[in-house]
């Protein structure tokens, strides 16, 4: 049994969102959050979640505030379920207080569950007295949200699916550091009328596994694409990299759209962004940009520093695009402090 350390003091942790270049979509075990395929992502710069946690014997229930407001419903339940995992691991029975802040809009489709559960995994395990390695933290973060397992690490990250039924071999590992490809940029294209995410991806993906006739074909090809992308990253092969992320995104969209009922995350403006990227490449005569998106309407357009002005000015002119933000590969999750008051 571990002792919360120091008792009733806040432990703080910070983590950044990540964008999946090879997607996690489908679980072999939904209680332990064990995926059917490995995935690969880039942790981003500039955006972050900061979370403070304390376990306190005087609390009568768990408390969770997000951006200064008490959270309820699904988000609170998700946090409580996650704290139960931490309490079991640490042999702690106290309730906890969680204070979390994002420096970006929460339900904006910018993967707040990834940075949120990575930061919570770090803060809660520290507050509970668990002295865990990043790998163990990745395994823990996975239980809150699969994609969070990758946000423990910076740069380019692979989450290996593993084979064991108990999930011991299911964690993320860093592939390449954040400075591996200094020219690479991710232009996040924010869509003004993006609908709020109503169903968690963890649920939506299980509908895909159950109903999409395209899913088994995806499962046959996804590991090969991941290996090819790893090579394109290692050799910094721009053309291959851009082609592969778009191929993967199209495959992900195909299994979503063939899910019954269909999962359509894009708006007409998102689709106009995808078309503009293809058009930019056609006009340039070689790939200058590549798109990807997750289960939401915003689009990530990958390109290189020298093309950013050209690509960005084209994307900004698309009706329904509210903003663009230029991101780079970002840092690993880290401790931000232990205090008697949260920040």
CA angle centred on 114, ends 172 and 288, rounded to 5°: 85
Question: Who's near 249: CB < 8 A, 6+ residues apart?
Answer: 23, 291, 292, 293
Question: Who's near 261: CB < 8 A, 6+ residues apart?
Answer: none
Q: Does 24 bind ligand DP6 (CB under 6 A)?
A: yes
Q: Does 113 bind ligand DP6 (CB under 6 A)?
A: yes
Are 39 and 23 in contact by the 8 Å Cβ rule? The answer is: yes
Q: 250: helix, coil or strand?
A: helix
Rounded least distance, CB 147 to ligand DP6, Å: 4
**Residue 44 or 114 with smaller CB distance to ligand DP6:** 114
Rounded least distance, CB 38 to ligand DP6, Å: 10
**Residue 200 or 317 with smaller CB distance to ligand DP6:** 200
Binding segment (CB under 6 A) for ligand DP6, from list 68-76, 93-101, 195-203, 276-284: 195-203
Q: Does 115 bind ligand DP6 (CB under 6 A)?
A: no
Pick out residues in 271-330 that bind ligand DP6 (CB under 6 A): 294-295
Q: 59: helix, coil or strand?
A: coil
Rounded least distance, CB 169 to ligand DP6, Å: 18
C-alpha 41/C-alpha 148 separation (Å) is 11
**Residue 115 or 281 with smaller CB distance to ligand DP6:** 115
Q: Judged by CB under 6 A, which of 102, 147, 212, 342 binds ligand DP6?
A: 147
Q: How many CB atoms lie within 10 A of CB 267?
A: 18
Strands of the sheet with 299-304, listed across from one edge: 290-292, 299-304, 184-191, 321-327
Q: Judged by CB under 6 A, which of 145, 151, 303, 342 binds ligand DP6?
A: 145
User: Using CA atoms in the order 238, 244, 245, 249, what is the torsion angle rounded to 10 degrees?
Assistant: 160
Q: Which two tokens stand for residue 250?
A: 């199209």
Rounded least distance, CB 24 to ligand DP6, Å: 3
Q: Does 71 bind ligand DP6 (CB under 6 A)?
A: no
Q: Does 151 bind ligand DP6 (CB under 6 A)?
A: no
Q: Which residues contact ligand DP6 by CB under 6 A?
A: 20, 23-25, 39, 113-114, 145-147, 200-202, 294-295
């Amino acid at each position: 049994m571990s002792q919360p350390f120091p008792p009733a003091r806040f432990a703080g942790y910070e983590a950044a969102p990540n964008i999946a270049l090879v997607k996690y979509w489908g679980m072999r075990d939904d209680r332990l959050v064990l995926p059917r395929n490995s995935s690969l992502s880039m942790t981003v710069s500039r955006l972050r979640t900061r979370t403070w946690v304390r376990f306190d014997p005087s609390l009568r229930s768990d408390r969770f505030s997000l951006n200064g407001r008490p959270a309820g419903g699904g988000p609170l339940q998700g946090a409580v379920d996650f704290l139960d995992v931490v309490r079991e691991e640490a042999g702690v029975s106290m309730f906890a207080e969680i204070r979390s802040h994002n420096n970006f809009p929460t339900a904006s489709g910018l993967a707040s569950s990834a940075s949120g559960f990575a930061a919570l995994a770090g803060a809660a395990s520290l507050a509970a007295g668990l002295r865990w390695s990043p790998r163990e933290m990745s395994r823990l973060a996975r239980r809150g949200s699969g994609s969070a397992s990758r946000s423990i690490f910076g740069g380019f990250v692979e989450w290996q699916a593993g084979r064991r039924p108990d999930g011991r071999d299911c964690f993320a590992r860093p592939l390449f550091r954040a400075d591996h490809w200094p020219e690479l940029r991710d232009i996040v294209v924010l869509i003004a009328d993006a609908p709020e995410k109503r169903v968690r991806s963890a649920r939506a993906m299980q509908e895909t596994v159950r109903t999409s006739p395209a899913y088994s074909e995806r499962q046959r090809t996804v590991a090969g694409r991941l290996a090819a992308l790893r090579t394109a990253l290692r050799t910094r092969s721009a053309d291959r990299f851009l082609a592969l992320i778009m191929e993967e995104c199209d495959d992900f969209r195909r299994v979503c759209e063939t899910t019954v009922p269909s999962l359509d995350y894009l708006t007409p403006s998102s689709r106009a962004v995808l078309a503009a990227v293809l058009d930019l490449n056609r006009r340039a005569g070689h790939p200058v940009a590549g798109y990807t998106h997750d289960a939401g309407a915003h689009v990530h357009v990958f390109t290189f520093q020298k093309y950013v002005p050209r690509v960005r000015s084209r994307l900004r002119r698309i009706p329904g695009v509210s903003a663009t933000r230029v991101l780079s590969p970002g840092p690993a999750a880290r401790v931000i402090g232990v205090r008697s008051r949260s920040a």
